[in-house]
A = this chain, B = another copy of it.
Amino acid sequence: MLLMIPGPVQVHERIIRAMCRQMIGHRSAEFGEILRFCADVMREVFGTKGDVFFISGSGTAGVEASIASFSKSARFVTLENGKFGERVGEIAERYAEVERLSFEWGKPFDLEKLKEALEKGANAVAFVHNETSTGMLNPAEEIAKIAKKHGALTIMDAITSAGGDYVKMDEWGIDVAIVGSQKCLGAPPGLAVVAVSEKAWDFYNPKCPYYLDLKAYKKKFAELQTPYTPAIPLFFALEEALKIIREEGLERRIARHRKLSRAVREWALNAGLKLFPEPDGKAEYSNTVTAIRIPNGITEKELRDALRKEYGILVSGGQDRVKGKIFRIGTMGNIGKLEVIATLSAIEDVLIRKELINSAIEKAMRVLGD
């Protein structure tokens, strides 16, 4: 099965093989070296000179660790325009007073509302950079700039951007960012990586969950260890995935992600399909997942079943309130032209058979050939 979903991504053979090793002691120097290497590459990926911590758990565990660990007397404002933005709001509500700024799914944030909330006294902003549920890239730099003016803490869920698109924590002024191993890093799911600025510790809350207490991770990282037994095979895999990122180079990797997603968008628009998100120039189309409206004349289930059964390709449907209305193609990790062309061709086959679109595969090929 070819996974063209917004994670877990297809994992490179090298990374799968890296997991085929006997366990090692997690308090050993050998494990420490893996942790040191992973932290070095992850700092590049996040664009920070700050600390980087590794949690055995999903991206959501990383987001909660960030919000909970830095929730001391914080009055949060959350920006929400999709499922994962809403999750950030739900998590923040468990730890702090929160003003949840809700916008329509797939529509840009109104940043005037953010300014108002900060003027009224909010001192922490949390949001999703790349909103996977709608295919929207939210304007992180702009948000951080506004937050900075008010001295507010910024926490950014970069779960589906870091490693596939620009994340420049130090340059933009983001204090905490989170990524999941199974997205643009190209590794299997099960690890969250959290990058933390010095300033974030002013907001440290010792009453956060024990397992997600970033101070424990900081303390143990000084000995190149994790506070609790780490998911060793996933660290073997992450190490290999990050070696691939080093070999490819981060700039080239980001350029590749951008090109692959541009090919998907060019194809969709030229085939007569409609993209779901409505960017305004500040908010942009995501470069790691493309959300497309399901055309009249076919259901989401019919489309996805045909792709799975006839071609062995898995794409995603819509979640929650857009269930049945959109389908989503992930262009994350270590895939290339082959996988994208195969996927678009298969979708064309299914939709042209029903006379719902016209062929536009050559448009995609032209982008990919650039």
Residues of chain A at the chain B interface (Cβ within 8 Å): 1, 3, 5, 7-11, 16-17, 19-26, 28, 55-61, 64, 68, 87, 90-91, 94, 180, 182, 188-191, 207, 209-212, 228-234, 237, 314
Contacts and interface: CB of A to CB of B under 8 A. Distances in A.
Contacts of A94: 207, 209-210
Assembly of this chain: how many copies? 2
Given A1-B24, A212-B209, A189 B232 contact: yes
A340 B294 CA distance: 61
**Most B C-beta atoms less than 10 A away, residue of A26, A210, A237, A314:** A210
Contacts of A228: 58-61
B189 A230 contact: yes
**Most B C-beta atoms less than 10 A away, residue of A3, A7, A8, A229:** A229
Nearest to A65: B211
A189 B190 CA distance: 11
A91 B57 CA distance: 18
5 contacts: A9-B23, A16-B22, A19-B20, A94-B209, A233-B237
Nearest to A26: B8
A68 B209 contact: yes
A245 to B, nearest CB: 18
Contacts of A207: 94
Given A11-B22, A60-B210, A64-B209, A229 B189 contact: yes
